[in-house]
């Protein structure tokens, strides 16, 4: 009887270990999926840091990953546009500062518009087949254009167009926005190559 009890306890222990191991793997797999997916991007650390917060939503769904990355890019673009617009209202701006800020606000507005269109188009990509290639190609084109807009805005602050803390703050936001958008484009391209 002691042998039977020992065998039963051993089986229970093995079952508990197996269930615990499976639970740890399941709970860790969305994070692993994000890390693995982000390894193909230009800025993997930024990618993991920005998307890990959404691991429970993303799970292991490539479409959800791309949608989340695009949404994040759009949100950053919108907050950057608001910041640049606010800076443009400062008193005492020199004409070249005002012009650089105005141009940047227009570029970021274009970027927001393109990212918004990309998100709408991405919703149509859930249907596989010939239409998928068409829709995902549109998404890639618009996100690439948004990235160009972001870079153009950042270029407007090269040299002496702005000085001091405002320039540093705008450049930091533009660098982060460009990195997040570049990562979204990389994830979209990888997603497109899977189908």
Enumerate domains of the chain plus CATH numbers: 31-193 (1.20.140.40)
Instruction: Provide the pLDDT confidence category of residue 66 given band limits of 50, 70 and 90.
Output: very high
Question: Which residues have CB under 8 Å from 54's CB, separation 6+?
Answer: 68, 72
Instruction: Provide the pLDDT confidence category of residue 55 given band limits of 50, 70 and 90.
Output: very high
Query: Rounded to two decimals, what is the model's pTM?
Result: 0.80
142 vs 111: CA distance, rounded Å:
9
* DSSP secondary structure letter of residue 129: S
Q: CB atoms < 10 A from the CB of 128, how many?
A: 9
User: Are 36 and 58 a contacting pair, CB within 8 Å?
Assistant: no
- Using left for φ > 0, alpha for ψ between -120 and 50, and beta otherwise, residue 93 falls in beta
* DSSP secondary structure letter of residue 21: H
At 51 the pLDDT is: 97
Q: Which among 60-69, 170-179, 186-195 has the top mean pLDDT?
A: 60-69
And the tokens for 185? 């484009």
Across residues 15-25, what is the average pLDDT? Answer: 37
* DSSP secondary structure letter of residue 157: T
Picking from 5-19, 99-113, 114-128, 157-171, which range would have the lowest pLDDT averaged per residue? 5-19
Work out the mean pLDDT of the chain and round it to a whole number. 82
And the tokens for 169? 């703050």
Q: Which among 9-13, 99-103, 145-149 has the top mean pLDDT?
A: 145-149
Residue 136 pLDDT > 50: yes
Across residues 85-110, what is the average pLDDT? Answer: 87
Instruction: Provide the pLDDT confidence category of residue 10 given band limits of 50, 70 and 90.
Output: very low
User: Are 173 and 85 a contacting pair, CB within 8 Å?
Assistant: no
């Amino acid at each position: 009887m002691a042998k039977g009890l020992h065998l039963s306890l051993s089986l229970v222990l093995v079952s508990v270990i197996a269930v615990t191991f499976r639970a740890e793997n399941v709970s860790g797999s969305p994070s692993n999926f994000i890390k693995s997916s982000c390894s193909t991007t230009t800025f993997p650390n930024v990618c993991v840091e920005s998307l890990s917060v959404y691991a429970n939503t993303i799970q292991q769904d490539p479409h959800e990953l791309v949608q989340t990355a695009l949404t994040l890019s759009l949100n950053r673009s919108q907050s950057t546009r608001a910041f640049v617009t606010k800076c443009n209202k400062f008193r005492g701006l020199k004409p070249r500062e005002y012009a650089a800020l105005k141009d940047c606000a227009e570029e970021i507005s274009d970027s927001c518009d393109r990212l918004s269109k990309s998100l709408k188009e991405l919703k149509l990509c859930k249907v596989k087949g010939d239409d998928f290639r068409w829709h995902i190609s549109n998404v890639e084109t618009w996100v690439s254009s948004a990235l160009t807009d972001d870079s153009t805005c950042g270029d407007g602050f090269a040299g002496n167009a702005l000085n001091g803390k405002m320039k540093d703050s705008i450049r930091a936001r533009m660098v982060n926005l460009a990195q997040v958008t570049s990562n979204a484009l990389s994830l979209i391209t990888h997603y497109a190559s899977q189908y």
